Structure 1
Amino acid sequence: MKKDFYLTRYALIIKKLESAPATYSQLEDYLLNSFEFQDADIKSYSIRTLQRDIREISNLFNLSIHNKKKGDNRYYIESRPMMEVDEYNPPLPHDSIVWLFLLSSHSLSMYYFYLYKNIKMSRNYKFHNPEGLYFISFAVVGWLDVFIRNEYKEILLESLRFCQKNKGMEIHAWCIVSSHVHLVFRSIDGKKPELLIGDFKRFTSKAIIQAIKENPTESRKEFLLDFFLKEGAKSSNVNQYQFWRHDNKPIELWSNHVINQKINYVHQNPVEAGLVFRAEDYRYSSALDYSDEKGLLDDVVVFRMFGF
């Protein structure tokens, strides 16, 4: 199915079930005949996919859907959402027109569709919660394969160690591959996470460029420095060389499922790139820490899911 089409599926399922309970066959027929499915040219929807979607709706929206009534195989919405704003639930929309529409329609599906799209589109790429746990990725300009040399990876590791010890960076997962870095972290000493990452990127940018200049075995020295210089000239807030892309794409991780998903994504990156067969065989990541062994960084906070 299309990327992010699950959002549409969730909204349609809730919309159907808030009007009346429905069997799998009725839900399948409703979805496949919807404009959204037909426009996406989707011609099948399995019971397995429905069960997975129901689990995700429950995890994401605190909404229980089940078909456990004796002698009745229809799916029901069992509980309505908690509308209060707390550390787990993002604030409701402030726009008065949206409020009036949601309140007058009494539509769970529209509320959830708006709410989740708001989370995905507006909150994904900003550090909104200074105490939140975040997944971020940042890449070298042009996605150049700078980190094929371990000496440049070691500069990143030393900087991460410094941030752990002196800047309150709590690291839950990390991975350095040839052109980019993945990190799951939180700021625990009151420093804004965007400032913490900004400091890290500024220091490592200067240190790696200096290391490239001073490396007598760097065969691509002229190419790399010229590329970074040209990229810096394109940006008004860069004095000379630009090493990192400006975007970090921070995503706040606010459920066990999403945390586990992102950590697995971080560790599977070298596997997907064909560098190793098993995540824990890759030296420059925290996958080893998640295999009950010691990785290159000290004090990695290993995330564990309990009760699942």
Structure 2
Amino acid sequence: MVVPEQVVEPSHVPVLRDRIVDLLAPSLAQPGSVYLDCTLGLGGHASAVLARCPNARLVGIDRDPAALAVAGRRLATFGNRVHLYQAVYHELAEVLAEDGTRSVQAICMDLGLSSLQIDDRERGFAYAVDAPLDMRMDSGQDLTAETLVNTAAPGELVRILREYGDEKFADRIVRRVVEARAKAPIRTSADLVALVDQAIPMAARTRSGHPAKRTFQALRIAVNAELTSLAAALPAALDALAPGGRLAVLAYHSGEDRLVKRAFAEASSDHVPPGLPAVPAALQARFALLTRGAERPTPSETAANPRAAAARLRAIEHKEDAA
């Protein structure tokens, strides 16, 4: 596996690292405990969990082979406690089967982009630098942002920008894109940024960060099918937790957080028909919430790591006495 030289050892500040370790560590105290990191990235959260929990071993998965290579070097000090797999997080059941693991005691999902993907300019995730319009987390997949921008129907592009980017100027941006691609393919991030800049009214360009931020976010989510994958991963993760096991999820986008909130609310609610005087054990909630709403980074963490600003943390526990 070859990793570009400029991204072999990137800087990395795990978001809400200490809080996540505090939430997950109680379930990893027993010998033989398993910690599943569904979005390993550069291994920042995994390293902290393994250091705090010496009885635990790691099953780490990531769709990005470059991230796995960097994480593998970072986690090598933990020896045979580390088992790494290239996969998308909705494939966690298949990964655990391959690992020979029936259930786990703790799971972390840190959604969105890793520092590696943001910092590697050639991968086209960043709107602030000119690069090919790629945006694939797994470079082996076929669909790229360039393909999507140049071939998707206008109505589909509008839907993507509105649903995944909350972009209220989606119609205007897509009109510019369609006009431009009719003359020549849109191939680079600079090309797309210029079109977005032209489409958004001057008065709205500086209200909430870079004018292309929402467009790039939406295209990245669409290219990598992130919300579809998350919708499948959440029930699979809950099913994989042993009694007493805990799941922590860091979301950075309102669509992600809505999926997590709904899944956790469903799992932590009794399912009782109206009028039933008591809740039978089979209908009682199998899980309990560990966080009240979504926890956010402290101002000091956000100041030290601006990428943490949008993070929302939710955690849930599989009840020990669940049926």
Q: Normalising to structure 2: TM-score of the pair?
A: 0.26
**Which structure has greater strand proportion?**
2
Larger Rg: 1
Q: TM-score, normalised by structure 1?
A: 0.27
